[in-house]
Amino acid sequence: MPIAPLLLPILAFAASNAPAPSHDLHARFEADLVHLDAPLAHGGTVHFYTDSGGGLFLTEAAVERLGLSTLALPAGSDAPPGARGVGWPAFRDAAIPAPPGDGIVPVMPTDPKAPAWIDWDGMLGQGWFGGHVWTWDYPAKRLVLEGDGWKPTADATRVALGFKAGADGARETNFPRITVRIDGRAVDLLLDTGATTRLTPAALKALGDGGPAVRATSMIADVQFKAWRAAHPDWRVIEDAQEQTHAAMIEVPSVEIAGHAIGPVWFTWRPDRAFHEFMSGMMDAKVEGALGGNALRHFAMTVDYPGGAAWFRCSAGCKVTPRPAP
């Protein structure tokens, strides 16, 4: 008998046990916000907005346009009675991971009051990112699903992340809490790659940076916003900076992330309840706001969701912050 046929089962077994490689999803980075255009296997493309601080859904308009069949969401889901969902579509890029569990994605009804600039077909949020290791390489504009053999590089700095877990230790949500240092103090924030603002014409003129109106931002709750403003009257504030909400924003000169000082970073005002109540209720501890792409843009950041940590490599615009000896 030829030897080759005898080797086939062995080779097949070896291939099935080979570590999964890293995979570049070829995302679009626009104003430090990350979009993913995902062609379907049967034709058509889903334009996703990715957001580590957001949810998972497809819009009703996209489902109709793409001809996707809907089904009732399973009992016990957080959706209201009568809500619909779709099974995870077959994408041309088979490496795009399906969400955990049954793979059913809620369908978001059309909101006639939604701003015209929100024109994407759906969101890939915390439930989709969870369970994997991801790299957001902002300078290189790459979103990478890391393989089984991923290891941090020697020049990366580890930062522990907090995730909400039940009494049994099982992960309940995948909203990451990160601790940064601002004005000499530790500040807990949601690590939020999708934090977005649309600036008013007056705010764009005041900034004068040539950037677009829709861009990444960071966010801060009212009580901290007021504390910074009272302690630092020299920190620049732009009133009525955000369209629709008319929220102000404050320029923080320096934010320390993973031992690197970066800045300045603009933080958009939010009411206390948005973070102290709503967002903190889904996290392992109280957060004061969100750290967005306008701060993360200096880094290649790898978030190890199973390991509860992030690794940061600074590419540009960072200053190492010395720490006193213990």
pLDDT at 263: 95
Q: Looking at the chain, how many residues does it have?
A: 326
Closest to 96 in 3D by CA, of 128, 69, 61: 128
> How sure is the predictor about 14, in pLDDT bands with cuts at 50, 70 and 90?
very low
- CATH for 155-320 is 2.40.70
- CATH for 23-134 is 2.40.70
pLDDT at 8: 41
Q: Which residue has the higher pLDDT, 14 or 110?
A: 110
DSSP conformation class of 235: S
SS3 content of the chain, % helix, strand, coil (to 5): 15, 35, 50
Phi/psi at 235 (5° precision)? -70, 130
Closest to 269 in 3D by CA, of 243, 251, 286, 247: 247
> Which residue spans of the chain are classified as CATH 2.40.70?
23-134, 155-320
Closest to 293 in 3D by CA, of 205, 179, 214: 214
Is there a contact between 58 and 86 (Cβ–Cβ < 8 Å)? yes
Q: What is the pTM of this model?
A: 0.90
The dihedral built from the CA positions of residue 117, 273, 258 and 23, taken in this order, carries a sign that is: negative
Is there a contact between 38 and 93 (Cβ–Cβ < 8 Å)? yes
In this predicted model, what pLDDT tens digit does every residue of 35-78 receive, in sequence order?
A: 999 999 999 999 999 999 999 999 999 999 999 999 988 766 66
The answer to whether residue 172 scores a pLDDT higher than 90 is yes
In a 13 Å sphere around the CA of 66, the CA atoms on its Cβ side amount to 28
Q: Which residues pair with 144 in a beta bridge?
A: 24, 135
Cα distances (Å, whole numbers) of residue 28 to 38, 138, 144: 11, 10, 12
